[in-house]
Structure 1
C-alpha cells in the first residue's frame, strides 16, 4: 500500500476526526473540571512528551486555581474585550466586520449540505465562521466518510463535501491562525491543540478530492 493510501485509511481519518473534535471543544468554551480531569488522565496514560494536554505549570496548582487561570487565558485569547486571537474567519481574512462574507459563505455551505451547528448554551460563538464551527462540520463529514454504517455513495458525498469545506473555507485562514494561536497561548491545552489541529489540516490538504476506495470500513 502506498504512503498516500495509508495517509487516508479509514482508521487514520477516525483518529484525525478525534483530534478535530478535541480542538472544537477547546475552542468553543472554557475548560471545565470534567474535561480538565479527562486531559490529565490522557496525559498519564499516553506519556505526551512535549505535547501535553494539561500544562506542567498549572499541574502544580490546585485544580480550582488551574481552571481559573485557564478561564482567564480563554478570555484573553478568544473573547476579549480585545481578544489576542479572535477565532473568526471574517476577522482573520481582514473583512470589515465580523459576520461578513466568510460567515455567509459557511452558512450557505451548511445549508447546501443540510447541516447545522449544534451549539451549547455555554459556547462563546457569535457567528458560524468561528473556527470551532468549521472544524466541527469538517469532523462530522470526515466521520461520515470513514463510517462503517453509511453506504458507499454517502461516504463519497461526505468526502467530497469535506474536501470542499477544507479547501474553500478552512485552509485559506485556519493554518496561519493556528500557528499564531500556538505562539500566543501561554498554556496547554491551547498550545498543544493549536499545534495538533494545524498538523491535521496541513496533512488533510494533500488528501485527494475524490473519495478513494481505501476510505472504507
Structure 2
C-alpha cells in the first residue's frame, strides 16, 4: 500500500530504485503504513488489505493484530467520522498532529521553518493539492519512508536519516502516538497509536545504538 501523497520529490539521480536491506525495507513499510492511515481516512480497499495483516507477540505486533481485527468490523464511513473527530473537528480536532504544536505549543513555528529548509536540501516539496503545514505526522512519516528508500534526489546515509529523525520526528512523535492511543475518540485509531508509539521507541533506540 502506498500513502496518499502529501509531498512531491525530484527523481533519484540513479534513475531507479536503490537496493535496501530487509530491515530497512520493513522500517520504510511501517512509516508508509502510518502515513497512509494518518493522511486521510482509509477507504474500502485499504480496510480490506488491513484485514490480512498479522503480528507477532510484541507491542507493534499486538497493535497490528488489533488493527486488522477492527478493519474487518468498521465501515469507511465510521472511519471518516473518527478521523474527522480526531484531526479535523469543528475548528480543530481532538489532536493537532503537527511538530510545531507539540514542540512549541503553537502552529507554524520554528520547527516548520527548519523542516522546510531540510526538505529543500533533499529535493522535497509539498504536493500542490495539499494545503496543511508540512510538519504534520503523515507527511513526516512519508518523508522518512522516502529517505530510507532513497526515493529523493540521492540515496541518504544512515547518519542523515538519524539527523532527520532526531530533529523532526523523535522529539514529539512518540508523545503524539501515545495521545492518539488514549484519545477519547480513538477506536480504530487506538492501535495505530500503539504501533506508532512502539515504533518510535524502537527507532530512537536503534539510532542511539548506531552512534
Same fold (TM over 0.5): yes
Q: Give the number of aligned pairs.
A: 185
Larger Rg: 1
For the Cα contact (< 8 Å) 1:87–1:130, is it kept in 2? yes
Aligned to 1:180: 179
For the Cα contact (< 8 Å) 1:142–1:162, is it kept in 2? yes
For the Cα contact (< 8 Å) 1:23–1:197, is it kept in 2? yes
CA drift at 1:55: 4.8
Aligned to 2:168: 169
Aligned to 2:89: 80
Deviations 1:26-48 (A, max 9, x none): 001111111111112335x9997
Whole-angstrom distance in 2 between the partners of 1:139 and 1:54:
22
Is the counterpart of residue 116 in structure 1 residue 125 in structure 2? yes
For the Cα contact (< 8 Å) 2:52–2:68, is it kept in 1? no
Aligned to 1:90: 100
For the Cα contact (< 8 Å) 1:160–1:210, is it kept in 2? no
Structure 2 counterpart of 1:31, from 42, 55, 65: 42
TM-score, structure 2 length as denominator? 0.75
For the Cα contact (< 8 Å) 1:141–1:159, is it kept in 2? no
Is the counterpart of residue 71 in structure 1 residue 77 in structure 2? no
Question: Greater CA deviation, 128-137 or 199-208?
Answer: 199-208
User: Does the C-alpha gap of structure 1 residues 182 and 105 become closer, same or farther in structure 2, counting only changes over 3 Å?
Assistant: same
In structure 2, the gaps of 5 or more residues are 1-19
- SS in structure 1 opposite 2:51? helix
RMSD: 3.1
For the Cα contact (< 8 Å) 1:40–1:54, is it kept in 2? yes
TM-score, structure 1 length as denominator? 0.73
In structure 1, the gaps of 5 or more residues are 1-8, 146-153, 213-217
Whole-angstrom distance in 1 between the partners of 2:187 and 2:69:
6
For the Cα contact (< 8 Å) 2:31–2:141, is it kept in 1? yes
For the Cα contact (< 8 Å) 1:178–1:198, is it kept in 2? yes
For the Cα contact (< 8 Å) 2:53–2:68, is it kept in 1? no
Deviations 1:114-163 (A, max 9, x none): 223447x4x6x610110111111111111239xxxxxxxx65x4322211
For the Cα contact (< 8 Å) 1:144–1:158, is it kept in 2? no
CA drift at 1:86: 1.3
Whole-angstrom distance in 2 between the partners of 1:108 and 1:133:
15
- SS in structure 1 opposite 2:41? coil
